[in-house]
């Protein structure tokens, strides 16, 4: 079993690892997000994603990308810590931190067999065109009500 730090890859390492896994006949699944204030909703999402293939690659938004698309107050947990938390999970095979506000360059690098996304984003999610260009499929993960970082932050603010 890999040390969790060994699972956090740069782009060149990620491409090499995915090519190697593919040569072994492994099905690769991607998903992406900020995974700020990691909670049970995140864990269940990753569990659903992993069941779609053999190798789960998580694209993690960098701190700078989260500030651009969420707010200057986010993330709560810095990218180094978030990446280590995700990488420490047995169901996660690789983690890649990306600076873009959209995940298409990450998806383009991996060329997954499946890309898992929340059902709220639908089959026509922004990743769909890139995933399908390489023969991949979109897998929609059911929403688990009441489990989101935004909702956790609201509860804290209201207490």
For 42, the domain range is 4-158
**Full-prediction pTM beyond 0.85?**
yes
Per-position pLDDT tens, the chain of length 159: 678 999 999 999 999 999 999 999 999 999 999 998 888 889 999 999 999 999 999 999 999 999 998 888 889 999 999 999 999 999 999 999 999 999 999 999 999 999 999 888 888 899 999 999 999 999 999 877 656 666 666 666 677
Among residues 76, 43, 63, the alpha carbon closest in space to that of 153 is found at 76
Identify the CATH number of the domain in which residue 15 sits.
3.40.50.620
> Going by C-beta distance under 8 Å and a sequence separation of 6 or more, which residues neighbour residue 74?
34, 36, 66, 67
Number of domains in the chain: 1
């Amino acid at each position: 079993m890999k040390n969790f730090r060994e699972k956090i890859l740069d782009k060149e390492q990620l491409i090499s690892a995915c090519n190697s896994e593919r040569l072994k006949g492994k099905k690769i699944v991607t998903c992406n997000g900020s995974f700020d204030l990691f909670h049970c909703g995140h864990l269940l999402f990753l569990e659903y994603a992993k069941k779609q293939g053999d190798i789960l690659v998580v694209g993690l938004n960098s701190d700078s990308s989260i500030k651009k698309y969420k707010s200057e107050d986010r993330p709560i947990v810095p990218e180094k810590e978030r990446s280590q938390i995700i990488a420490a999970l047995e169901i996660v095979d690789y983690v890649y931190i990306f600076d873009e506000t959209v995940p298409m360059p990450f998806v383009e690098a991996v060329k997954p067999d499946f890309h898992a996304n929340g059902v709220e984003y639908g089959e026509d999610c922004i990743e769909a065109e890139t995933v399908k260009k390489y023969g991949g499929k979109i897998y929609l993960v059911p929403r688990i009500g009441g489990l989101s970082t935004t909702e956790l932050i609201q509860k804290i603010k209201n207490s």
